[in-house]
Amino acid sequence: MTSSPLELAANALITVSIALAGRNSVHTWWLGIMGCALFAALFAQARLYADALLQVFFILTSAWGWWRWQQRHDGSVLPVSRVHPGTLAWIAPTAAVLTLGYGLLLHRFTNAYAPFVDSAVLVLSVIAQLLLMQRRLDTWPFWLLTNTIAVPLYASRDLYLTAVLYAFYWVNALVAWRHWRRLMTRA
């Protein structure tokens, strides 16, 4: 099956945005806003409602991330850092509860395809995005898990280009994790 122009355009913009995030570039944000707007429409058409809602979240948080990553008045930039281990300890159970809760809502009140898997992509992406906005090294393991779940989900909806690119994003997350670790060590 061929990809629609909407899927092609969304993936092109997001691919550049994700590659720039891995390189720690502020330009990731405005490109991400444009790509997420296109993905919102694509996922709504595919009845992946959690993913469509997630794109709205990404648009809003990308504006904030863009602002946070700008140079400060003193010329410095937000440094790459780690999340406190105590914070990580409560993220996993919270993610599980939110995934189950939102999945139940989608299952009960919509015609969503794979509501629990779709919800897991949403919840893990929200966590990863919040960590990315703060330039936390810990964002990359969350993106790895998100992409691991997203690839088969998108393929199951015949969004093959999106699935292949999310497999590429998985590799990008590995490379970015290593790159950001070096940036943090240098700082």
Instruction: Give the rounded percent of residues in the chain with a pLDDT score beyond 90.
Output: 79
Residue entry with tokens 């995030």: 21
The predicted-structure confidence for 56-113, as pLDDT tens digits, reads as follows 999 999 999 888 888 666 767 788 999 999 998 999 999 999 999 999 999 999 998 9
The predicted-structure confidence for 20-30, as pLDDT tens digits, reads as follows 999 989 999 99
Per-residue model confidence (pLDDT) at position 187 = 74
Q: Tell whether 164 is covered by a domain.
A: yes
**How buried is residue 47: exposed, middle or buried, by Cβ count under 10 Å (0-12/13-18/19+)?**
middle
Q: Tell whether 77 is covered by a domain.
A: no
The predicted-structure confidence for 117-141, as pLDDT tens digits, reads as follows 999 999 999 999 999 999 999 999 9
How many domains does the structure of the chain reveal?
Answer: 1
C-alpha to C-alpha distance for 80 and 135, rounded to whole angstroms: 5
Supply the pTM of this predicted model: 0.85
Partner residues linked to 81 by β-bridges: 136
Nearest to residue 40, comparing CAs of 29, 53, 31? Answer: 53
Measured CA angle at 29 (ends 176, 45), to 5 deg: 100
Q: Tell whether 74 is covered by a domain.
A: no
Q: Which domain holds residue 169?
A: 5-69+82-186
Per-residue model confidence (pLDDT) at position 3 = 81
Q: Tell whether 76 is covered by a domain.
A: no
Residue 1 pLDDT > 60: no
Q: Using an 8 Å Cβ cutoff, are 151 and 79 in contact?
A: no
